Each structure stands twice: as structure tokens, then as C-alpha cells.
Structure 1
């Protein structure tokens, strides 16, 4: 289904995240409904129990055969014990949480949270819902870590709340990953991950001599721009480089790092000339 905002976008993925708990989660459907209603207006508790389903009646999508279908939120308790090995990749690509390994080691229980029937909403509405749901679940208590599925990273729940209180509204929406290129000393690849949930490509940059911290800020800011405005960086367009002086041309290409997807590839001035990319 195509988002209803008019900016150029791919078909968006469904957003989802996993709330990880050290102790069995205490989740009451009516409590969560009331807390979400304070942020999102008219919220109906459709079902409770191991699966909690909440309908957001102020956030509706029109289909060709039915108008005004409410977006829904599914909160599902996993029926299997948590396996920390499944989060190895997210652990490796989490850069701002020194205690991440210790936190993950405590986690024993998982709750999957996802949108349902909501991909046709405007991007800002979907972001508003995602952030409201995350805030409500964290405030409900007991969450030790969050696995942000679309962005491929782990989040410290309290750091997430503080970042948003400080105005960093896209914290936790996108992640910037770092890879050393095997058998090519000095070559690095960095990319963003998370744009597909909002119908836009991620961004990648293959380089040698640049400062990874500066590249990270560049990729994050570019990724946010695409989430806000759509896939508006056309092939051959340029972006102002990190130094603010030169221009870096862009091209849509297959991603160099999994998952398979099309990304906006930024060609930096020091880009390696050997091999693909």
C-alpha cells in the first residue's frame, strides 16, 4: 500500500520493535489503552491477553473498498524463551550504549510490538504513533532493552526517553552502521538502516580517509531528510560534503551490506577505486 503523503516513496515496510524484559512483563490491555489515549486520542481495546490489539480511531486509512479503517497496534508476548544470539547483529551495530551486553544478558522475555493496517498513514502520523507506543511501554515499566527491528540496533529505554525529551525526535528511528572491508585494510563502509519502514532508501558511503564520526552524522542527517521529504535525491544529484566545500554525487544502487535493498550511494572524494562500489 502506498503512503498517502505525496512525496516520492517506495511501498513502506511495517514498523516493528521488540521490548526485552528480565522479568515476565506485566502488560494490562486497559492500562495501555488509557495511556495511549492520552497521546493519540480515541483508542479502543480490541483484544487482550497474550495478544493485545489496540485500534487507533483517530488514525484511519482509506482503501478502495472501505474508508476510514483504523490503524492498529499489536502487542504480542513471545511463546518461546528469548535467545540472545538472535540479537548478535544488532548488538554489534549499537554504538552509544556501553552497557548493552550486560543488559541483553539479563533479558529473558520478549514482546513483539508492531503496527497493523497503518502503512497508508502519513509519515509524520506513523512516527507519532511509533514514538507514542514506545514511550507508553517504557513508562509501563520492566523493559531492560529494546530491539529496534527496522533500524537493526538495540536501545537503552531511558536513553531513548531522554533523547526525545531533548528534542532528538529521530533517535531510534534510524541507525548508522559501520563495517571494515575484509581483505582491504583501511577501507570502510557505513550505511543507514531504517528508511524502508517509511518508504525511502537508506544511504551508504564507502571510503578510506574520512572520520567515521563525521560520516555517521552525515548519513544520519541525510537519512532523516529522506524520511521527512521522500526519495527526492535523484541519480546525479549532489550533496554537500562533510567539509562543507565540495559536492558528492549520488546514485541509487544495490546495498553493499545486508539486508538486500536499494540505497542512495554517496560517492565521496576519497572513495576507493578497487572492487565494487
Structure 2
């Protein structure tokens, strides 16, 4: 755990708008060319399903995901999956606060930001009109395609949640279905509250698919148990299109495992830690800190 002190800033302007694009930054040690068009189409079809290439040059490649039709008030259209040409990368925007929560790449993050001077950005477009579960699976399929398409990629940074992974870990994962989105696209963050024995755990990334992030403000319980609870609860919320209503209860934790014998009350409120957003706050009963 980091001993660095950060200031709470819920007035931070860098708020992730719900439903915004899912942005993946691929980091490289050397510049890379846009892959061959036919190869890109082959790999995209393999992972995403039927696609149509609607633009391709050295600056941008775009594919319409024909099985994923987004619905809006003024009509329907297939989701677009975009890949930009290679550009320089200087680590701008990666401050100490963001880097402190890169739990999946603690030992390599400094090396990655030192050695990687090039990046390729990939994103979805028009995807906000998809149901949450469908979009989560599509974005995970897109990630699998990118991992195969760019074999020299050193690391993947997921801008919506702040997670950083070595590319070899992305390529080697054996996670199935929508849990891939939770694993790569949702970050469970941990903070000690200075001057107290209180801790705070929250998630970032669920708002991308119009689902609530979580927040736990607590003391006197193993935070690793709460991290596991958060991942289990986000997976449940995604699989069930968030059935949790304000002031309902959920299974809590007993001896490290989720248990029906412990019930924790939930309520929707403003987040305590930036970025400012509505979160599902979990009142942990005897372990709860703060006023609700």
C-alpha cells in the first residue's frame, strides 16, 4: 500500500460522463504501423463477429459491429470500433494519484512509463445505446482482438478506470463473458483516511455502461475481503442490470466470504473521492464509518 498523501477533490473537473466511450491506450516501446487491412478484418471477425470496414488508412481504421445495433431516440445504428494510428506517448495525465491505484502493475508501472514512448488508442463509438451487458461483452471482445492484432504492445491502459496491465497478462487471461469487462474495465481503489483508522474502497468504470460504482467507508475489517466483495457485487450488478434499489440490503461479509447472515444497507449518494459521481454506498453496519 502506498504511504503517499492525496487531497480529496470532489470538485475535480475530470469527471467521466456516464455512457462515455470506452478508451483503451496500447503502449509501445517502438512505433508501430497500422496492421494490414485484411488481417485486421480477419481478427475482428474472429473475436467480434460480423463487421464491416468503413475506413482504413495510416491514421485510422473503423469497423461497424453489425451484430450490435445501438438504439437512440432518432434511430438505430451499428456500434463503431475505432483504432487510431500510432502517436507519441509522454505520460501526460498520469499523475501520482492515478498511478497509486494501478494495483495490477505495481512492479512494472514505472518501467512502462519510462520505456514506452508510443501509443495506439482504440475506442468504441455509438455504444451508449447498447444494453449494459451487451456493451460490456463487446468491449471485452474488442480488447481480445486488439491484443492479437498488436503483438508488440507492451501494456494496456484503460482510461475509464485507471487500470494498467502488462500486455502479456491481457493475452494470457482465461476469463469468460462479461467478467472480462469487470477485470479490465473496473478498478477497485483503496484509500486510508489520514489521521484515522478508517479506510475507503470504491470502484471506477461502471458508469461507462450506465451502472453504479460502489463505495465502502469502513474500519476494523480486512480490506482484502471488501475488495473481493466489490468485485463480486459489480459482477452481480452487471449480470442482472442493477436490480438494487435505494435502501435495500445485500449480503455482507462473514469470515472473508459473502454471507446471507450479514446484511448491509445500500443507498445512492455522491462519491467521497474524485471523480465526482453517484455511487452505491454500502453501509457496513458495525464496520461503517462516517455519517449516512
Relative to the length of structure 1, the TM-score reads 0.86
Please state whether the residue corresponding to 1:242 is helix, strand or coil.
strand
Q: Quote the offset at 1:214 in angstroms.
A: 0.6
Find 1:117's aligned residue among 126, 132, 147.
126
- Cα distance in 1, alignment partners of residues 75 and 91 from structure 2: 42
- Residues 1:129 and 2:138 are matched in the alignment: yes
**Does the CA-based 8 Å contact 2:33-2:85 persist in structure 1?**
no
- Residues 1:26 and 2:37 are matched in the alignment: no
Please state whether the residue corresponding to 1:210 is helix, strand or coil.
coil
Deviation per residue, 1:76-113 (Å, 9 max, x gap): 2365x312252234421121333222223211112221
Q: Which structure 1 residue ranges, 4+ long, deviate > 4 Å from structure 2? A: 165-168
Q: Which moved more, 1:97-106 or 1:206-215?
A: 97-106
- Cα distance in 2, alignment partners of residues 213 and 28 from structure 1: 41
**Does the CA-based 8 Å contact 2:214-2:280 persist in structure 1?**
yes
Please state whether the residue corresponding to 2:66 is helix, strand or coil.
strand
Taking a change above 3 Å as real, the CA distance of residues 60 and 29 of structure 1, as seen in their structure-2 partners, is farther
**Does the CA-based 8 Å contact 2:47-2:145 persist in structure 1?**
no
Find 1:158's aligned residue among 159, 162, 168.
168
Find 2:84's aligned residue among 76, 84, 88.
76
Q: Quote the offset at 1:45 in angstroms.
A: 1.6
Q: Quote the offset at 1:29 in angstroms.
A: 5.3
**Does the CA-based 8 Å contact 1:13-1:199 persist in structure 2?**
no
Which residue pairs with 2:240 in the alignment?
A: 229
Deviation per residue, 1:63-87 (Å, 9 max, x gap): 44444x12111112365x3122522
- Cα distance in 2, alignment partners of residues 226 and 11 from structure 1: 16
- Cα distance in 2, alignment partners of residues 231 and 225 from structure 1: 8
- Cα distance in 2, alignment partners of residues 204 and 63 from structure 1: 31
**Does the CA-based 8 Å contact 2:63-2:82 persist in structure 1?**
yes
Query: Where do 1:176-191 residues align within 5 Å?
Result: 176-182=188-194, 184-191=195-202
Which segments of 5 or more consecutive residues in structure 1 lack a partner in the other structure? 1-9
**Does the CA-based 8 Å contact 2:59-2:84 persist in structure 1?**
yes
Please state whether the residue corresponding to 2:280 is helix, strand or coil.
strand
C-alpha root-mean-square deviation of aligned residues, in Å?
2.2
Q: Quote the offset at 1:270 in angstroms.
A: 1.6
Q: Which moved more, 1:171-180 or 1:42-51?
A: 42-51
Q: Which moved more, 1:244-253 or 1:194-203?
A: 244-253
Taking a change above 3 Å as real, the CA distance of residues 260 and 178 of structure 1, as seen in their structure-2 partners, is same
Which residue pairs with 2:100 in the alignment?
A: 92
> How many residues of Structure 1 are paired with residues of Structure 2 in the alignment?
263
**Does the CA-based 8 Å contact 2:148-2:171 persist in structure 1?**
no
Q: Quote the offset at 1:114 in angstroms.
A: 0.9
- Cα distance in 2, alignment partners of residues 230 and 258 from structure 1: 25
**Does the CA-based 8 Å contact 1:14-1:115 persist in structure 2?**
yes
Query: Where do 1:171-210 residues align within 5 Å?
Result: 171-182=183-194, 184-210=195-221
- Cα distance in 2, alignment partners of residues 181 and 77 from structure 1: 42
Q: Quote the offset at 1:230 in angstroms.
A: 2.4
- Cα distance in 1, alignment partners of residues 43 and 228 from structure 2: 34
**Does the CA-based 8 Å contact 1:51-1:75 persist in structure 2?**
yes
Which segments of 5 or more consecutive residues in structure 2 lack a partner in the other structure? 1-16
Which residue pairs with 1:271 in the alignment?
A: 288
- Residues 1:107 and 2:88 are matched in the alignment: no
